[in-house]
Every structure is written in structure tokens, then in C-alpha cells.
Amino acid sequence: MLSGVYTVPSESPRPRPDYAPNPAQLSPYAKVIDMTSAAALPSRFRLVPMRPRDPGEEGRAASSLELFFDLVFVIAVSIAASHLHDTVTAGHLGEGLAKYLMIFFAIWWAWMNFTWFATSFDTDDWLYRVMTIVQMGGVLILAAGIGPVFADENFLILIIGYILMRVVMIAQWLRASLHAGRARRATVIYACGIGIVQVLWVAWMIIDDRMMSTLVFLILVLAEVAIPVIAEARGTTPWHPEHITERYGCFTIIVLGESMLASANAVFGAFEDSEDIVSLVSLGVLSLIVTAAMWWIYFWPPHHRAIGGLGGSLAYGYGHYAIFAAAGAFSAGVGIEVDSQLGNSAIDPDLATFMVSVPIAVFVLGVWMLAIRPSAGGVVNAIVPICAVLVLCDPLIPIPTFLTTFFMVIIVITLVGASPKGDKSSTGAEVRA
């Protein structure tokens, strides 16, 4: 039976309410998925058929499994940021940044692929949970491989962890293909594309020439990010705008929390080695204010409006690489600034300050471009990017992060006086701002 109405029997562990989708908002595949047949019932193995989720499901929020999944990624981000701090403090700025960005791609891409798959096909049955936990094990293996990458450019353990996560995703996509309806072609392309690229990652490890290795790495990165573009162009999978943006918001909070913890540990750990307690306390207070401002800026706009179509969704998802990487690098920057104040850093003090201000500028500009700009008026769209750029002037004064804090506060004050376009609580003056 063909139906345009999505329903799931009450026996499903993730009940979905009856929903009549708007044909103008949903992809054509939605019209031919039969969610009322007996096949939707759990099988004798207590498995729920992996059918496309309703992209208009009311009240859908991040599940406890998804939040649990995020925690292991924060472990990897924390370890990567810690090694970035150690490498830059030792005077190897370029090397540290290059390795951090390479490693962060593996972290971010594996997280993003799971997140977008989950918004489309999450069944929350026991097999889905087990396979997700296996992916978490892959993240921990990847995290264990971060140290060898920074120490002697040994990617073996990291690649093993990454491939394990990706192999699990292949299995998930193949399972989804069994009941995906018109989205089946996309699910098969995802599975085949991921599999081919993983074979190429294994081959990449045997390249000895450094320049060639870097070039092939970039090519493989392009191959990875091209898979969703190709798959979605040939058979759209559904995504839930509020759910997917909530997932990004949850990960942002966790990464900012990790940055706050690392910054606090760096400041607290320096108390015993420094007689200038006032400067350390000032740095700690300013770091708290800046982190709070980053949170405020990120959650001001309605993010779900940024992913109304395929192009917007890809830009939003891919753009978060810079946002997440910057948030993770911010904690490393505070630690580098502390070491610079103590005289324990081999890099120039101005570069140490830039290690704080540059991640913040990248974070703010990224959020502005992806989410704030379409939802704000002229005043906000002028002040936010200008202040983000002015953050880079921080090394001009002798008080670390003071200018950064000042301009971040200016941005927050501006946002407090304005409301996003379409906000029912906003006044005409607020919208114009």
C-alpha cells in the first residue's frame, strides 16, 4: 500500500506520530514509503525496520544515545587540543596546526556522518545501539592514535580507529537500504562511496614522500566530503531541521565546556609556578567571559532556518568544521598564553596571544556566516563581523585577551538589543537592528 502518511505502530521503541507532510517541503520519496504495513513491526529478533524518519516529526530531540555518543568525541577533541598546545609551546606552530587540523577532520567527519544518518534512520533498537557503541570504540582508538601522530607522524592507530567507525557506517547504510524506499539509491551510494574511500585511506599510509602524502590526503578529504553531495543528488534522505541543529548545538556546548575545563586547568596549574597571581586570575576571568560570549553568539540565531535545502544543509554541516575546530583550539590557545606569561613557551608572546584571538575570530565569523547573517538586520550584520576581525588586534596591548573580551562583549550587547528575523517576540526596531 502506498501512503503519504507516516505512522509507526505503538510497539516501536521510537514512536512517531501521524504526520501529513507538506509535499512542497519534503522530497518525492516520502510519498511512497508505507509506514503502516506489518513490516513496520519489530521482527522476531526485536529489530525495527530501518525506515526514513519523518522530517516533520513534532518534538523530536536529541536522544540519550546521541548525547552519550558525543562524549567520546569530546575526549578526542580534548586530546588533540592538548597535543596542539604542547607542540606550539615547543615552537612548532605550523606543524602543530597542520596536524591538529588533519586530526580534527577525522573527528568531525565521523561525528557529522553519524549525526546526519541518525536524523534520517535512527531506530534506537538494540542493534542500532550496539553498532553505535562500536563506533564509540572506534573514536577511542582514534583518540589513542593522536599522540603518535604528533610525536612521529605515525597515523596507523588513528586510521584504524577512523576506518572502524566508517565500516560501521557502511553497515548502517546497507541496513537502511533494505527499507529506504525512494531513498534506497542514496543509501547504497553512501555505503559504496565510504567503502571505496576507506580502501584508499589504507593505501595512503604506505606513501613515504611527505609532499605526496599531503597532496593525497587533501584528495581523500575531498573524496569523503563529495560522497554526501553525490548521494543526495541522486536520492534525497530526510533530515529534521530542528533535530539536526540541536545536535550541532549540543556538540558546541560540549566542546565549549571542554575548552572552559582546559582553560581553567591551565590557569590553576600555573598558580604554583608564578608570583603574578593577578595576571593569571585576570586571564581566567576573561576566558570565562569570552567562552560565555561564544555560547551566547552561537545560540542567538534560529539555526534550523539555515538548512532548508540541500545546498544550505551542506554549507551548514561543512562550515561547522571551522566552528568546532576553532572552539577546540581556543582551549589550547589559553594554555599557550599561560605558558607564555610564565616564560615556558618557545614562541613569540604576540603569536601566543594570536593563538587565543584567531580561534575566537574564526568561531564568530563562522557562526555569523552560517546562521546569524540570514537572520539579522543591518546593525547586527555590521557589528558582528567587524568586532570579530578587531579581536585580532589583541596583541597590540599588554593585557592578554582584554581586547578580545571587550569586542566579544560588544557583540553580545548588540545581540541583546536585537532579535532574529521572524521572532514573534521582536519589535520592529529590534528586527531592523
Cα distance from N-terminal residue to C-terminal residue, the chain: 52
Indicate the burial class of 127 (C-beta count within 10 angstroms; 0-12, 13-18, 19 or more): middle
How far apart (Å, rounded) are the C-alpha atoms in residues 131 and 140? Answer: 15
pLDDT of residue 334: 86
Q: Among the three residues 234, 268, 286, which one is the final residue of a domain in this structure?
A: 234
What confidence tier does 200 reach under pLDDT thresholds 50, 70, 90?
very high
Q: By percentage, how much of the chain surpasses pLDDT 70?
A: 85
Please choose, from the candidates 126, 384, 70, the residue with its C-alpha nearest in 3D space to the C-alpha of residue 252: 70
Are 371 and 393 in a shared domain? Answer: yes
Q: Is the pLDDT of residue 285 over 90?
A: no
Q: Is the pLDDT of residue 27 over 70?
A: no
Q: At what angle do helices 64-89 and 310-342 cross, to 10 degrees?
A: 40
Indicate the burial class of 94 (C-beta count within 10 angstroms; 0-12, 13-18, 19 or more): exposed
Q: Is the pLDDT of residue 21 over 80?
A: no
Are 229 and 307 in a shared domain? Answer: no
What confidence tier does 428 reach under pLDDT thresholds 50, 70, 90?
very low
**What pLDDT digit, counting tens, does each position of 247-276 carry?**
999 999 999 988 888 878 877 777 766 666
Domain for residue 69, yes or no? Answer: yes
Are 224 and 327 in a shared domain? Answer: no
Are 201 and 268 in a shared domain? Answer: no
The mean per-residue pLDDT over the stretch 57-81 comes to 91
Q: Among the three residues 217, 234, 251, which one is the final residue of a domain in this structure?
A: 234
CA quadruple 284, 415, 314, 246: dihedral, nearest 10:
70
How far apart (Å, rounded) are the C-alpha atoms in residues 140 and 411? Answer: 37
CA quadruple 265, 270, 272, 277: dihedral, nearest 10:
-110
Range with lowest mean pLDDT among 2-11, 115-124, 146-155, 163-172: 2-11
Q: Is the pLDDT of residue 338 over 90?
A: no
Q: Looking at 235-348, list the stretches that DSSP marks H as alpha helix, in order from N- to C-terminal side.
A: 241-270, 277-298, 310-342
Are 273 and 403 in a shared domain? Answer: yes
**What pLDDT digit, counting tens, does each position of 94-150 carry?**
999 999 999 999 999 999 999 999 999 999 899 999 999 999 999 999 999 999 999
pTM: 0.85
Are 299 and 428 in a shared domain? Answer: yes
How far apart (Å, rounded) are the C-alpha atoms in residues 237 and 152? Answer: 41
Q: Is the pLDDT of residue 203 over 90?
A: yes
Are 110 and 157 in a shared domain? Answer: yes
Are 138 and 278 in a shared domain? Answer: no
CB atoms within 10 A of CB 206: 7
What CATH number has the domain bearing residue 406? 1.20.1410
Indicate the burial class of 191 (C-beta count within 10 angstroms; 0-12, 13-18, 19 or more): buried
Asked if 193 contacts 231 with a C-beta cutoff of 8 angstroms, the reply is yes
Please choose, from the candidates 87, 75, 96, 21, the residue with its C-alpha nearest in 3D space to the C-alpha of residue 53: 21
Range with lowest mean pLDDT among 23-32, 74-83, 237-246, 412-421: 23-32
Are 205 and 340 in a shared domain? Answer: no
- Number of domains into which the chain is organized: 2
How far apart (Å, rounded) are the C-alpha atoms in residues 55 and 242? Answer: 9
Asked if 85 contacts 335 with a C-beta cutoff of 8 angstroms, the reply is yes
What confidence tier does 23 reach under pLDDT thresholds 50, 70, 90?
very low
How far apart (Å, rounded) are the C-alpha atoms in residues 390 and 285? Answer: 20
Asked if 191 contacts 170 with a C-beta cutoff of 8 angstroms, the reply is yes
How far apart (Å, rounded) are the C-alpha atoms in residues 56 and 162? Answer: 32
Structural domain that includes position 104:
64-234
What confidence tier does 24 reach under pLDDT thresholds 50, 70, 90?
very low
Domain for residue 43, yes or no? Answer: no
Domain for residue 187, yes or no? Answer: yes
pLDDT averaged over the chain?
84
Domain for residue 395, yes or no? Answer: yes
Secondary structure E strands in 343-430 = none
Domain for residue 7, yes or no? Answer: no
Amino acid at 162: Y
Are 197 and 331 in a shared domain? Answer: no
Asked if 26 contacts 56 with a C-beta cutoff of 8 angstroms, the reply is yes
Are 134 and 275 in a shared domain? Answer: no
* Phi, psi torsion values for 286, nearest 5 degrees: -65, -35
pLDDT of residue 132: 96
Q: Is pLDDT larger for residue 357 or for residue 273? A: 357
Domain for residue 3, yes or no? Answer: no
Are 294 and 373 in a shared domain? Answer: yes
Asked if 148 contacts 157 with a C-beta cutoff of 8 angstroms, the reply is yes
Q: Among the three residues 206, 234, 262, which one is the final residue of a domain in this structure?
A: 234
Domain for residue 59, yes or no? Answer: no
Domain for residue 373, yes or no? Answer: yes
Helices (H) and strands (E) in the chain, counts: 14, 0
Q: Is the pLDDT of residue 60 over 70?
A: yes
Please choose, from the candidates 364, 361, 381, the residue with its C-alpha nearest in 3D space to the C-alpha of residue 373: 381
How far apart (Å, rounded) are the C-alpha atoms in residues 365 and 369? Answer: 6
* Phi, psi torsion values for 220, nearest 5 degrees: -70, -35
Please choose, from the candidates 174, 143, 148, 17, the residue with its C-alpha nearest in 3D space to the C-alpha of residue 80: 143
